Amino acid sequence: MSFNRRQFIKSSSFASFVLGYAVNSKATTGLLMSQAPSKTPNENANDNPIQNVKYSESSSLDFNGDNINRPHDILWNIDGYVAKKGGIPAPSASTRIVVAGGGMAGLLSAYHLQAQKPMLLEQDPVFGGNSKGENFDGSFYSIGAAYVTIPDEGSDIDVFFKETGISEKLKLESDTETSVNFRNALMRDFWKGASDPENAEQFVKVEEEMRRIYNDAYPDIPWTEDSAISYEELCKLDAITFEQWLVNTFGEVHPHVLEYFQAYCWSSFGGSIDEISAAQALNFVTAEVDGVLALPGGNAYITSVVHQTLKNNLPEGHVLSGAFVLRIEEKASGKVWVTYESKEGQLVTIEADFVVCAFPKFVAERVIVNIEAERVKAIQDLMWRGYIVTNVIMESAIKSPGFDVFTLNGKMQPAPTPLNPPKKLMTDVCFGTWAQNDEVSHSVLTMYRPLPFEGARQFLFNPMSHQKHLIQSQNEIAEFCKAVNIDASKIKGYRLTRWGHSLPLANKGTIADGTVEKLIKPINDKIFFANQDNWVNPAFECAFTEALTVAQKIESLKA
């Protein structure tokens, strides 16, 4: 029997579930090592989402992450680029399904469709999207997405974790184990009012309401008929900002609580509480009331396992990296032509019955021929935000105080602008090797530095940007190390990752005004869309659900 989240939390099975997912095992043996590359990225053409890092490269010389040159060169003038290449070639092969995009949603789409032998195309040399990771001398850490929430028992995600063996590596940080760095000191029991005991009831009231929503009125995104609230109720929440919801619900909100939610929304969404939809924010924060689950290498562990599964199960040549899709066109015959540039620079066209677009919508706008004006308008209404991840590699192992630690100063930070940017970009630090139980030679601190305002992304492409963010990261992490009693002189290196537009801004009204419906609607039941930006919800759970939904729809159709 399957339980929904509310029934599950209240059932006696919850304790055994948590204990099952809290099993600690060494990440340097078994499944993970079978997925990880045997050579460094510079020594082979490996496209696994977890990349080895040479010992001598503990500090990056330039950003990892987004590969900006090729996409920008092609997407800004596709017609001109194709013309220079001699035009669109006739199909050289045919297949039932092409999945375009090899991030989390694309890998999962291909995984759910693997019985139909799809062809998976990823423009980057490495699969995983922003769910990539690195391996430094046996220490696995994320360079992007870092954790997942506790799935409902018997849910599709729960089943997926178990059938792939991922559940064996999940490690739980429960709500009672979490800490915040408050005024340069680690603090437990934040939601019991530890930062202001005289006003503890204000914290408790907020926490109790979050738990009530989680148990009884959880705003599922994507919404389904089985959701705890109606679609109309979801839209009502989506039509106001999280800040408005807080004021409407609690009246005056304690400044420490506001600061926490501001930092949380910067880190999770790349936006402030006066921008983010109440539905989207509650979908995130209430899902974490009982804790979060982390993996060695963060969510790159998931993409690595799926990537290797597809490599093992699909025909040779069906999992292609460096394959840049630049044209998708439905023909009069009902077939869909997908043209991509191979890693060797050749244009190749594949004829397919169905195509899954698992890349961002701003790419779909440019590559789909005769895309509808209504959809284009919806895409252009979306906004995107970026962030920096700095992985701090230590000379040796340290004892992690927990998994994810937010930094608070006791004062609400205002929404930033280009003329008034945040004084510090760091919102939180994940102990990257915590999921390996610190049984490593080198601990890693993963620092998140979001860019939560319009116009911030453009500065990432300045030639001096890496050095600027390196210096800022060094200053911020030195202060953090004092707070958590870590000897900063034992830092071995800093590896910086840049994500220019990886977060679709979950601002208010995107669901309520019908934008989402226009974004996710298939084109003639031939071209489908599976991505976190379907619902502007930048979460693993959203990518998984959208991938599964599209796969089920395609499986129900006949070519």
Tokens of 265: 């929304």
Per-residue pLDDT, 151: 96
Per-residue pLDDT, 556: 95
Domain count, the chain: 2
Residue 392 lies in a domain: yes
Do 455 and 518 have their domain in common? Answer: no
pLDDT digits (tens, 9 = 90+) for 446-491: 999 999 999 888 778 888 999 999 999 999 999 999 999 999 999 9
pLDDT digits (tens, 9 = 90+) for 254-269: 999 999 999 999 999 9
DSSP conformation class of 277: B
Do 285 and 394 have their domain in common? Answer: yes
DSSP conformation class of 317: T
Can you give the residue range of the structural domain that contains 426?
Answer: 139-295+383-504
Residue from 166, 539, 139, 84 nearest 341 by CA: 84
Do 121 and 148 have their domain in common? Answer: no
Residue 483 lies in a domain: yes
pLDDT digits (tens, 9 = 90+) for 344-353: 999 999 999 9
Last residue of a domain, one of 465, 481, 504: 504
- For residue 52, what are the β-bridge partners? 135
Q: What is the pTM of this model?
A: 0.93
Query: How many C-alpha atoms does 373 have within 13 Å on its Cβ side?
Result: 0
Confidence of residue 212 (pLDDT cuts 50, 70, 90): very high
Confidence of residue 9 (pLDDT cuts 50, 70, 90): very low
Per-residue pLDDT, 41: 30
The answer to whether the beta carbons of residues 316 and 117 sit under 8 Å apart is no
Which domain CATH number covers 342?
3.50.50.60
Residue 15 lies in a domain: no
Do 174 and 197 have their domain in common? Answer: yes
Do 193 and 290 have their domain in common? Answer: yes
Residue 7 lies in a domain: no
DSSP conformation class of 494: E
Cα–Cα distance between 326 and 82 in angstroms, integer?
9
Q: Say which residue, 422 or 339, is predicted with more confidence.
A: 339
Confidence of residue 30 (pLDDT cuts 50, 70, 90): very low
Do 517 and 482 have their domain in common? Answer: no
3-state secondary structure of 166: helix
Q: How far apart are the first and last CA of the chain?
A: 34
Do 394 and 249 have their domain in common? Answer: yes
Confidence of residue 271 (pLDDT cuts 50, 70, 90): very high
Overall residue count recorded for the chain in this entry: 559
Cα–Cα distance between 125 and 136 in angstroms, integer?
19
Residue 25 lies in a domain: no
Cα–Cα distance between 456 and 468 in angstroms, integer?
14
Amino acid at 522: P
pLDDT digits (tens, 9 = 90+) for 505-551: 999 999 999 999 999 999 999 999 999 999 999 999 999 999 999 99
Amino acid at 223: W
Question: What mean pLDDT value characterizes the chain?
Answer: 91
Residue 114 lies in a domain: yes
Specify burial of residue 271 (Cβ count, 10 A radius: 0-12, 13-18, 19+): buried
Do 200 and 280 have their domain in common? Answer: yes
Do 411 and 275 have their domain in common? Answer: yes
Residue 375 lies in a domain: yes
Last residue of a domain, one of 504, 523, 545: 504
Do 417 and 539 have their domain in common? Answer: no
Confidence of residue 253 (pLDDT cuts 50, 70, 90): very high
Tokens of 70: 């090729």
Confidence of residue 32 (pLDDT cuts 50, 70, 90): very low
Do 402 and 288 have their domain in common? Answer: yes
Do 242 and 102 have their domain in common? Answer: no
Per-residue pLDDT, 1: 31
